[in-house]
Copies of this chain bind each other. A is one copy, B any other.
Amino acid sequence: MTVDDSWFTEKAKGFGMSLRVKVKIHDEKSPYQHIEVFETESFGRLLTLDGLTMLTSRDNFIYHEMMSHPALFTHSNPRQVVIVGGGDCGTLREVLKHHEVEQVLQVELDERVTRVAEEFFPELCESNGDERASFLFVDAIQWMAEAKADSVDVILLDTTDPVGQAARLFSTEFYSDCLRVLRKGGLLVAQSESPLFDIEILKAIHGAMRKAGADDVMTIHFPQCTYPSGWWSATMARKGQKLKGFRETAARKKTFDTRYYNADIHIACQSLPTFVNEALAQSH
């Protein structure tokens, strides 16, 4: 059976994921990458960068909620937050749901991603005008190297895959800078790829975070239909404190809506399959 050009297809490692496309509604080459937006048959809109799926209207809620709420309900009082990448603004929207948060700075290299998201994914950008949010379109490596020490509570690395330019955002050097910028008890969260396809990357992230000086490292996992393997992870590192416990009462009584995240999921997403536990034990 063939999948023709009426489908968008992403292939990697002998595995392919396809979404049937009604029409391509945007196509541009920014200074950094090829940005496309498709109207799909059953996943709403699809944003791709250099031919790789970034998000769809239908299932992005899982990723964005799981990149933000577990970390924000783990930190005792998250006031200053920095998002690295995250140009589609979906993570930013979730972070701003927390009333404790006083400032969120989003450091994204490519301003065009955010402008395209504002036009084609307005629901993800609905909080961009929040007075607590600010945007810098610069290289995050350099920004983090120059940022003030002990000044941020949570850093979310909402990045593309660790290839090309983005690989530097998964390095011990960059994690060291992030940990320097975090206050004590602060949390660093990296999207950390597929437990099934990318276990070696997960191990490398654990190793690099520990080498960078994190006092504790923990991976959480969740489904993500339109990413390769349909299964994804985020890895949290903490400065000067263990990653045990969270503000469970606050999570149970949260005053904002979520569709995937809840307090039970917060606890559950930390339980890893045996093969993942065994692999990560080797990263110590």
Contact = CB atoms under 8 A, between A and B. Distances in A.
Contact of A274 (B15, B20, B261): B261
The copy count of this chain in the complex is 2
A232 to B, nearest CB: 9
Interface stretch (A4-12, A125-133, A206-214): A4-12
A16 B14 contact: no
A34 B19 CA distance: 26
Interface residues of A, number: 51
A134 interface: no
A163 interface: no
Interface of A: 1-5, 7-11, 13-20, 40-43, 51, 59, 62, 195-196, 221, 223-225, 229-231, 258-262, 264-265, 267-275, 277
22 contacts: A1-B10, A3-B16, A7-B16, A15-B18, A15-B20, A15-B42, A15-B225, A16-B16, A16-B18, A16-B19, A195-B223, A223-B223, A223-B231, A225-B229, A225-B231, A230-B230, A261-B273, A262-B273, A264-B271, A264-B272, A267-B271, A268-B271
